[in-house]
Structure 1
């Protein structure tokens, strides 16, 4: 079982009641599931099952009864519903893909943002702890918040919240919510990886401040935290790694 893959992680995490409601509905991509989820939500994301760093992601959204918009990187195409599946299938080829409900993420200057949450445990402990949080903001015109792909921005959670569409929400309440969901998720997903001690969760806050688990990273990059002027969070992660 290739437990590093997103589909296996999703199916495993969906078994647990306390985190199930924080997972955007996801299916293996085919003609039927695309039609089903876009009919249900009007806006979906297609992503490779084993993809990393925002590669190969498509957004498909309904324009009207006969037309879809397909958005990849900073480019958009408009086409009829009938042609859309064949176009996507041609681009994807034989690669295993997922289709996932797109969460309407909170924004900064109309650009979507998500939250990278690092959760760790010490070598002789089963207690998981959130050690670092940073916000990634997509570059102009991009659907992915991956900084390298979209020329996006990194900022602290507090600063991002102040600038965001959620600025009127309580900082402490949102932070507590994110930490609680991330720790519960680490406790559950770690059952797939018994000796693993660090996870990076990409989490989204929607326009009402609800926390969603968009992706689980077993080997999260540290570059996000090195880019912050204040290196406190980076040093905390590294200290936990050595403990």
Structure 2
């Protein structure tokens, strides 16, 4: 009985080993097939890019759809300024150039907004600096260029505030309280201490600390000409 038991265990181990070996074989085959399909997709994408080169370079909306196609198969045309994409399309150079222009605009406006500018204002200033003969750019182009700037550790970040997006160009992340203050100020462009205490249900100390930090960073202006101090955010008031 004991020998039969040992034999049964040995057979069980052998069966498991065979199943494992077969499973590995199937997995390798599937991976090979997927890799082959991916290579085919990439080849077709390169052919498509070569055929529609001018549209990708000049049409912002077409360029965005092209980027989405690339992302679906794990291709990043911005990964390097050399190679096929740079030589064929100049895509990498386009975004590097745009990134430099974004830095210039953010530096030029930092004394006014403390390093916090709306995406809409940034785009208008970029279009103006590029001139009427420059390539058209979209919000998607700007955000992609900013993501590349983040790799450099330059302090750039995109902050969603309600339906709009703000671009931060100074080091240091905004806390949840700071973001909440910006969201509260989105409609009118300003907040007061009592507004935050009443509507956010915050303690006075918490609201005051968040507001003073934003003032110190230059992202908020103080207005004492009303019955209660108001904190204005130039990045949320384009007319300013």
Q: TM-score range by the shorter chain?
A: under 0.3
Q: Which has the larger radius of gyration?
A: 2
Q: With structure 1 as the length reference, what TM-score do the two structures score?
A: 0.25
Would you tell me which structure has more strand in proportion to its own residues? 1
Q: With structure 2 as the length reference, what TM-score do the two structures score?
A: 0.25
Would you tell me which structure has more helix in proportion to its own residues? 2
Bigger RCO (CA 8 Å, 6+ sep): 1
